[in-house]
Structure 1
């Protein structure tokens, strides 16, 4: 299931969320959505989007507990710039109710 959301930006982070963690693979995103988010909140979603290389190259790819768990750590104060660097729509790839 791939569905355009009409969403063009991610919402501001909550005070207890100082970092935005976009991940590099769909498999890792599925694991987070299904295995962590569903038990914690009852649902999880996998989104896909493109971002300008010139922006994202300012951040390191980080390993989060294993070689297959690759992500960027975007400080919440950089989220507006991150959103401005998104190219095209944010797309819903999978949902786990």
Structure 2
């Protein structure tokens, strides 16, 4: 549940990233890889589902949707990016800010959806 002090975000991910979140005790996102300069959580569940189902699952065999709360005042420093239609909204967190971002997560990161690749 979101209160006025936190913002609910979603993150679609594959099994490798989810395993690292699990290893953190469901408390932090792993550092970005060298070819990943941005961590981009999304602002609505429907968009996260679309990415997990249509991109992560076909690529990795399974895609997950996670949900978590972040300190609202902290995330105001990252402007909302509209990367498609009116509901295709992301925050772009530079990789070098991810440690600080993780320290502002309020509560556990939760898996709220799982999507398996369709088999022929």
Q: Deviation of residue 42 (structure 1)? A: 1.7
Q: How far 1:19 moved relative to its partner?
A: 0.5
Output the TM-score relative to the length of structure 2: 0.74
Q: 2:79: which partner in 1? A: 60
Superposed CA offset, 1:2-60 (max 9, x none): xxx64100011111111001000000000000011112222111000000011100010
Is 1:85 aligned to residue 104 of structure 2?
A: yes
- In structure 2, the residue matched to 1:23 is 42
Distance in structure 2 (CA, Å) of the matches to 1:66 and 1:83: 28
CA distance in 2, matches of 1:17, 1:44: 18
CA distance in 2, matches of 1:87, 1:41: 28
Determine helix, strand or coil for the equivalent of 1:33: helix
Structure ranking higher on relative contact order (CA contacts 8 Å, 6+ apart): 1
Q: Residue 28 of structure 2 aligns to a residue in which SS?
A: coil
Report how many aligned residue pairs link the two structures.
Answer: 93
DSSP 3-state at the match of 1:7: coil
Q: Distance in 2 between matches of 1:27 and 1:11?
A: 23
Distance in 1 (CA, whole Å) between partners of 2:112 and 2:40 is 17
Q: CA RMSD in A?
A: 1.0
Equivalent residue runs for 1:42-53 within 5 Å: 42-53=61-72
User: What is the TM-score with the length of structure 1 in the denominator?
Assistant: 0.91
